[in-house]
Amino acid sequence: MEKTSQSLDDKLLDYLDGTLAESERKNLEQQIHRSTAIKTRLESLRTTHELLKQFNIEQPSRNFTHALMQRIDQAPARNTFSIRNGIFLLIGVLVTAGLAAMLVSIGVFDTPSTIELNNINIPEKYLQQPLPSIPVSGKTIVNIIIMLNLGLAWIVLDRAILKPLFQRRIHAGR
């Protein structure tokens, strides 16, 4: 089946709607009788046209445009933490960082330890040489965790407390 052009499709749709002028309608009907491709396309469009007629197209209410224009300058709803939840999260992060810093300062993590990889049960056929032992400083690890925790605290402070606070001030000033 050969493809019909967009202008012919438009004419066929106008024909189905009954909006063609009399001379154009007669000319199109002659083309339909001569070409099976146009006749097939007309039937396809007629089927689609009939299916679309079965659906009820909902119309917006009469004051839709007016209501939309009234609310167009309003800010969209934000999906953020409430300030209260942000404060609780920030307090939790700071308490955790404070406890970790206190444990480091009293020397809980001062004794260095090592991880002995030779104590792992690995069959000797896979190992040609003994595995090394890895020294681990608990103090360094806890200090890194404290720094990451404080970085998280700054992010929480910014996103959950300061940003909503300043946005409310901006919107209150309008």
pLDDT confidence of 147, banded at 50, 70, 90? very high
**pLDDT tens per residue across span 4-62:** 688 888 898 888 888 888 999 999 999 989 989 889 999 999 998 888 888 877 888 88
Q: pTM surpassing 0.75?
A: no
96 plus 151 within the same structural domain: yes
Residue 16: domain span: 6-54
* Residue 21 belongs to a domain: yes
Domain assignment present for residue 149? The answer is yes
Can you spell out the DSSP letters for 36-79? HHHHHHHHHHHHHHHHHHHSPPP---TTHHHHHHHHTTSPPPP-
Please check whether residue 142 is in contact with residue 109, taking contact to mean a CB–CB distance below 8 angstroms.
yes
Checking if the pLDDT of 81 tops 70, the result is no
pLDDT above 70 (res 75): no
**113 in any annotated domain:** yes
The answer as to whether 67 is a domain residue is no
82-129 tens-digit pLDDT = 778 888 888 988 898 888 888 888 888 888 888 888 788 877 778 778
**Same domain as 148, residue 106:** yes
Looking only at the bridges linking them, the beta strands covering 133-136 and 113-116 are antiparallel
Instruction: Identify which of 92, 88, 101, 91 has the alpha carbon closest to the alpha carbon of residue 145.
Output: 101
Asked, for residue 103, whether it belongs to a domain, the answer is yes
pLDDT (0 to 100) of residue 1: 47
Residue spans of alpha helices (H) in the chain = 6-17, 22-34, 36-54, 64-71, 83-105, 138-156, 163-172
Number of domains the chain contains: 2
